[in-house]
Amino acid sequence: MFTVKPAGPPKSDISGGVLRTSPAFFGESSIAPIRRTQLPVFGSRVNRNGLIRAVISSGDKTLEAASTLEGKESNGSLLSSGGGIEVRAVVTVRKKMKETITEKVEDKWEFFVNGFGQGIVIQLISAEIDPVTNSGKSVQSSVRGWLTRPLNNSQIVEYAANFTVPNDFGCPGAILVTNLHGKEFYLLEIVIHGFDGGPIFFPANTWIHSRKDNSESRIIFKNQAYLPSQTPPGIKDLRNEDLLSIRGNGKGERKPHDRIYDYDLYNDLGNPDKDIDLARPVLGCEERPYPRRCRTGRPPTKSDPFSETRIEKPHPVYVPRDETFEEIKQDTFSTGRLKAVLHNLIPSIAATLSSSDISFKCFSDIDKLYNDGVILKDDENKNVVENLLLGRMVKQVMSVGQRLLKYETPAIIKRDRFAWLRDNEFSRQTLAGLNPVNIEILKEFPILSELDPAVYGPPESALTKELIEQELNGLSVEKAIEEKRLFILDYHDMLLPFIKKINSLPGRKSYASRTIFFYTKTGLLRPIAIELSLPPAPSSPQNKRVYTHGHDATMHWTWKLAKAHVCSNDAGVHQLVNHWLRTHACMEPYIIATHRQLSSMHPIYKLLHPHMRYTLEINALARQSLINGGGIIEACFSPGNYAMELSSAAYKSLWRFDMEALPADLLRRGMAVEDPSMPCGVRLVIEDYPYAADGLLIWSATQEWVENYVNHFYTQPNSVTSDLELQAWWNEIKNKGHYDKRNEPWWPKLNTKEDLSRILTSMIWIASGQHAAINFGQYPFGGYVPNRPTLTRRLIPQENDPDYEKFIHNPQHTFLSSLATQLQATKVMAVQDTLSTHSPDEEYLGQVNRLHSHWINDNEVLKLFKKFSARLEEIEEIINARNKDNRLRNRSGAGIPPYELLLPSSGPGVTGRGIPNSISI
């Protein structure tokens, strides 16, 4: 137990954003002593008669205790007859990096007001109960006086508040902060000096709303983790009150200053009021199930009462206040968006301001994007700018000179510009590329569809035994399956129900695809056959064609076209299912539930907090500009207007929480077999599978860290089941966050420490390693259009087609005209470049932001985290060594880029490496 000591506290100092102490704190200074004020006690609930109403929990009962301020010390403390002693709070506030002149004037005024005790009021709440109020003992003071010594960071400002604390006060467990200013401010932390045991840290890293926006005071807890049953009695009511304030009441439109987390359907993707063609179905129902998003409460559209009105860019979509990008991140993302706007001009320029978009005419047109940039004529500049209504900043950029923009050469062609043409590179990318999570072992033959044959034709695949065995060097299909040497990339059943609708869109022509791979004795994966299917037609009930690599010129080009269609399907499934759905969308309910049901004092909240950063904001931006009706994804990927319906169908038929764990996913796809002797209990079928091999290292380290952390806090046999917050959290994830899947039998139970560790490891893996593996390679792999086309615009010409002769005479033109147009390609390249970029303020796995260094007051936990960090450093060395091992030909060799997507660390920019803690882009 802490006790008050009469000696003055040490002076504090800021070094690199971390509060440190120095013995001269109470030396001579210009800080006036802080007198007791006549302000009422803030926090809890202050009624108009001066009564404090504190909610006290006692078992299942809720009691209310009230007491008047009359007759008490005016600073809110309950002084003993022996008087009290002085302690000091150091309040650290962060200012904006870039301020307008008006903001600078306001900032100076706030600095002045704070210094004289008129801006911020703070109230210390003891962990012990006051017998008079039945709530925590309290003392209150205004922040009065600023610390005038120079700081290393000009954006950091420190203020002080003095308190007279009764001798029997005990240890403070919470602080109530009231902001009397007219606008919010960002509170980094409060440190209390003067108690035995050293300074007490109250990490905040939060926006404090103005009292005019919300009369409730903010509750900041000290950096001690407590299970609900362990909560000190003096702050138990505040723990409950804080959670209630975060949940809100589910009503009304959210305001920018709110920090309320609630659920809603995906009903904000369409804009029927603007254009009926932009209407989109609601996702999150029996017909179209989907995870829930964060509620904004905007009113319905006029055209459709079930759809929510949209807020178009650049206006922000609501997310709880602390979920918004910090200033560095905002600048990075804004720069990326500006870059994307500029890139969107390139096709119009390349087409000489043509009213219709054009294809790339030859491969050198694509190369020019990296080598030469795009040159403008001055007369054309003006027309383009005025027609597109671009802002002044863009106009200035364009008027600087003729050479406007130049793309960075993507990693996939930087080392070998012809690698994308080769079959072995096509196969290698299924194991070490942007989407290495769909290849699976071929378990049985013949290959059968599970779709309704009455609608989609006979279930049998056109990939016959005879056709496949021609490519197996004398091996039978049965023997190849037995030896685990046949693999498949199967998008048939997922895509075929959408093909007719997709192909009715202008400029879209797709197939449902299956691709068979053979794992050779030399350890290389080789594609041997591709099946492309269309919906059955009266003249062709089994509308399926099979392509092989062949040996003549015509088959060479049709094989290349077939691979392009497979890559296009793979790109769509990657973006809409594996990237958006399985990481971004499915993580959002976990984040909402964590804030709603787990107190910030809860050890599991503290564990998950770094893995939730920025995700709600980036998801809101995606709904605004990327996955919305008419957005970038619809414009640039094959599914077009049906993109999110495809994502919903995949959620309905494929997604299940228990299969999101990396070992479980590998076992499900047959890419690994159970092996208790291995660290994760699985052994890879293909040893040289970079995503899985490196991923299992990250998974294993994360699992060990999580298990040790959970074991540290849950020490009793029934401690998991008796944790009411934890059980409410898991129930809400299943029954609200994933409402449409709430009755599925595969949801894990949450009864034991082992259950909890598995659930948490999956969530952290999804937010960190899984997202990194399928996001940060988007530009390195997708920035070269022929390597990874995101859409196809033509079917493969057949001998009786009118365009067949054109194909025979100029196959290169047919190939390029089948891919995205110049406008579509440069749009998606710009977006991929932005999405592949690490922000300068990125926080990586195993690292702690220097401003969060006091996240927990537990030396054992800090030792465990240090061990986790050290293990990640070892893993980085292991991966680097693997990338130099010439036996691992999927990650090393002539022209082969190393596999670095699961290297834990990275610098800013498009590096193709690094595992951020959270889904932050």
pLDDT digits (tens, 9 = 90+) for 375-393: 444 444 444 333 333 333 3
| 14 beta partners | 19
Task: Identify whether 492 is a catalytic site residue.
Answer: no
The backbone region for 811, taken as left when phi is positive above 0, alpha when psi lies in -120 to 50, beta otherwise, is alpha
CA-only gyration radius of the chain, Å: 30
Q: What is the DSSP letter of 415?
A: S
Catalytic, out of 771, 838, 852, 854: 771
b or e along 870-909 (b: 16 or more beta carbons within 10 Å of the residue's beta carbon)? ebbeebbeebeebbeeeebbbbbeeebbbbbbbbbbbeee
Q: Which residues contact 717 (CB under 8 A, 6 or more apart)?
A: none
The count of other CB atoms within 10 Å of the CB of residue 132 is: 11
CA separation for the pair 653, 676 (Å, rounded): 30
Q: What is the DSSP letter of 717?
A: T
Residues of the chain short of pLDDT 70, as ranges, are: 1-83, 97-100, 103-105, 107, 109, 114-117, 145-153, 327-356, 373-406
- For residue 90, which phi and psi values (nearest 5 degrees)? -105, 120
Helix ranges (H only) for 389-511 are: 392-399, 411-414, 423-432, 453-456, 465-469, 477-482, 492-503
Instruction: Name which of 505, 816, 789 is nearest 630 in CA terms.
Output: 505
Catalytic, out of 181, 492, 574, 584: 584
Beta strands 544-547 and 120-130, pairing class: unpaired
The angle formed by the CA atoms of residues 385, 386 and 387, to the nearest 5 degrees, is 95
Structure tokens at 19: 């509060």
Cβ(790)–Cβ(634) below 8 Å: no
CA atoms within 13 A on the CB side of 235: 30
The count of other CB atoms within 10 Å of the CB of residue 462 is: 17
Instruction: Look at the chain and count its residues.
Output: 921
pTM for this one?
A: 0.87
3-state secondary structure of 305: coil
Q: Strand order of the sheet with strand 525-533?
A: 440-441, 486-490, 512-519, 525-533, 544-547
pLDDT recorded at residue 98: 65
pLDDT recorded at residue 483: 96
Bond prior to 203 in cis (omega within 30° of 0): no
Task: Identify whether 921 is a catalytic site residue.
Answer: yes
Q: What is 144-192 written as a DSSP string?
A: --B--S--S-TTEEEEEEEEEEETT---EEEEEEEE-SSS-EEEEEEEE
Chain mean position to CA 140: 39
Q: Which residue has the tokens 């990396």?
A: 662
Task: Identify whether 775 is a catalytic site residue.
Answer: yes
CA separation for the pair 308, 305 (Å, rounded): 8
Cβ(179)–Cβ(114) below 8 Å: no
CA separation for the pair 786, 568 (Å, rounded): 10
Dihedral sign for Cα atoms in the order 336, 341, 344, 345: negative
CA separation for the pair 575, 631 (Å, rounded): 14
Chain mean position to CA 609: 12
Domains and CATH numbers, the chain: 84-246 (2.60.60.20), 438-566 (3.10.450.60)
Helix ranges (H only) for 315-356 are: 327-350
pLDDT recorded at residue 408: 86
Task: Identify whether 854 is a catalytic site residue.
Answer: no
Q: What single-letter amino acid sits at 426?
A: F
Instruction: Name which of 198, 162, 185, 9 is nearest 103 in CA terms.
Output: 185
Q: Strand order of the sheet with strand 218-221?
A: 135-142, 120-130, 172-179, 218-221
Longest dimension (CA), the chain: 103
Cβ(405)–Cβ(342) below 8 Å: yes
Q: What is the DSSP letter of 585?
A: I
Catalytic, out of 775, 787, 883, 917: 775
Q: What dihedral angle (degrees, nearest 10) is formed by the CA atoms of 782, 788, 794, 798?
A: 170
Q: What dihedral angle (degrees, nearest 10) is formed by the CA atoms of 771, 774, 776, 777?
A: 170
Q: Which residue has the tokens 């991966």?
A: 879
Catalytic, out of 528, 592, 796, 921: 921
Catalytic, out of 549, 574, 579, 611: 579
CA separation for the pair 824, 408 (Å, rounded): 18
Task: Identify whether 579 is a catalytic site residue.
Answer: yes
The count of other CB atoms within 10 Å of the CB of residue 375 is: 12
Q: H-helix or E-strand containing 517? A: strand 512-519
Q: Which residue has the tokens 């210094």?
A: 115
CA separation for the pair 704, 697 (Å, rounded): 11
CA separation for the pair 775, 582 (Å, rounded): 12
Helix, strand, coil fractions of the chain, as percent rounded to 5: 40, 15, 45
The angle formed by the CA atoms of residues 399, 404 and 406, to the nearest 5 degrees, is 165
Three-class HEC string of 227-292: CHHHCCHHHHHHHHHHHHHHHCCCCCCCCCCCCCCCEECECCCCCCCCCHHHCCCCECCCCCCCCC
CA separation for the pair 757, 762 (Å, rounded): 9
C-alpha separations of 324 from 266, 333, 609, 619, 908 in Å: 20, 12, 14, 11, 20
Cβ(239)–Cβ(261) below 8 Å: no
CA separation for the pair 360, 575 (Å, rounded): 23
CA separation for the pair 32, 396 (Å, rounded): 51
Structure tokens at 813: 């033109």
CA atoms within 13 A on the CB side of 22: 12
Structure tokens at 888: 């691992």
CA atoms within 13 A on the CB side of 579: 30
pLDDT recorded at residue 99: 62
Instruction: Name which of 68, 76, 67, 87 is nearest 38 in CA terms.
Output: 76
